[in-house]
Structure 1
Amino acid sequence: MEEMRTLLAGCLRESANGYVVDALIENYPNISELMSASEKEISSVKGIGVVKAKQLSAILEFARKVYAPDKNKRIIVRSPKDVYDLVRADMEFLQVEHFDVIGLSTKNHVIFKENISIGSLNASIVHPREAFKGLIRRSCAACILVHNHPSSDASPSEEDILLTQKLVECGKLIGIEVLDHIIVGADGGGYISLKEQGRM
């Protein structure tokens, strides 16, 4: 919390213990909520005018782009860390669960990344038909499953493990290998690879 206070104070040229920073933290008690806030929402906070809202929104957008991978660079997945680096900017600050599929070529080049489900605070509903539709259409050789936990705990639930096993079996029938399932934790919670954990 103190680190967040210091960062906000530096960005806005305000006192770390001043009412402006207090008001922001009261409205957005963690980085995840602040990163998801729009400029309009920020400007409605007491003590934050239009100028400061634009300034803070620009800084947050810059932070998102720094995390985001270069879209012009051809991406090859060699490890779970490569997947985490690819999706971190999109997933780390989400408030509800998003389930994405990453389609790969025979040499593990990323062909596409697609969101197939948006759920609640602690669950997303995923149907195999939706998971594999884009992969079949784009003739992918393999895929990686990715979803976020809105909490900082990336540990897989029993439902996560059962869903992964179901999708792995579907992939075998279709001929598209499910290489891994990566779970991303919020607010710097890191990631967990079910493949590395031996759970798929």
Structure 2
Amino acid sequence: MSHKKSLSNMLQDGSASIEALPFERFRKYGPETLTDAELLAVLIRCGTLNSTPMEIGQEVLKRGSIYEKGLNGLHHLSVKELCEINGIGEVKAIQLKAIGEIARRMSVSSKNDRLCCNNPTTVAKHYMEMMRHEEREQLRILSLGTHLELKSDKVIYQGTADRCLIEPRDIFQFALRAGAVSIILLHNHPSGDPTPSNADCKITKRISTLGKELGIILQDHIIIGDNKYISFRENKLLDFN
């Protein structure tokens, strides 16, 4: 016998009114009227014998708030952590993570169409939310056109929690395929401190030198921390002339 309690069953047995149920409120008033927990409850849909979908949604937010408040905390929760919540199995956990990733990609896609990479602050703000949540170092290359407009971007390497091995060959292979005139490198520091390491400085100098030889200029290397960044160009850490 299933212990799941669906929204329709809750209506039938009188355990909740139409106005109180997130799914019904969504239908009547629209998604913008729902709280974060209510939106999660709509996705979760079925509760357990002891917990409603709303209560499960609140627990998801509570677990995520250890890392960050609101729905952004969901980015930090792994499938395994979500499965530890009573009422969420592997399928539902994967669905929640997939929806979060869809939302992230939609946001990135719309912003990329308007992004001009002539200002380190603009670039850092654009990628901050995307990269500062990563628990491993991630290297992203931005391929730019003649007017520093973004042609394409790609994560070309993901490392360990404290190390990202960069191969210049991979960087320039992607840049050449994308028809880049110049490039910007971005990577994150999971520690939250964007201060460049000696290895960061050495590899940036090497890539800049190789880029000049290939005719693909390195415009900048930006390191993303926790709501802060360091630009090699802004801080004159490398000769970009």
Q: TM-score, normalised by structure 2?
A: 0.63
Partner in structure 1 of residue 67 of structure 2: 30
| Count of paired positions | 183
Q: CA–CA distance in 2 between the matches of 1:126 and 1:54?
A: 30
Partner in structure 2 of residue 106 of structure 1: 146
Identity of aligned residues (%): 29
> Out of 225, 228, 234, which is 1:190 matched to?
228
- Asked if the contact 1:92/1:185 (under 8 Å) is kept, the reply is yes
Q: CA–CA distance in 2 between the matches of 1:42 and 1:153?
A: 26
Asked if residue 144 in structure 1 is aligned to residue 184 in structure 2, the reply is yes
Within a 5 Å distance, the mapping from 1:62-81 to structure 2 comes to 64=104, 68=108, 70=110, 73-81=113-121
Name structure 2 gaps, 5 residues minimum.
1-34, 38-53
Greater RCO, 1 or 2 (C-alpha within 8 Å, sep 6+): 1
How well do the aligned residues superpose, as a CA RMSD in angstroms?
3.3
- Asked if the contact 1:142/1:178 (under 8 Å) is kept, the reply is yes
The SS at the match of 1:70 is helix
Name structure 1 gaps, 5 residues minimum.
1-9
Q: TM-score, normalised by structure 1?
A: 0.74
Within a 5 Å distance, the mapping from 1:1-200 to structure 2 comes to 11-12=36-37, 20=59, 24=63, 29-31=66-68, 34-38=74-78, 40-49=79-88, 60=100, 64=104, 68=108, 70=110, 73-186=113-226, 189-200=227-238
Distance 1:190 1:64, change over 3 A: farther
Distance 1:80 1:140, change over 3 A: same
Distance 1:192 1:67, change over 3 A: farther
**Structure showing greater Rg:** 2
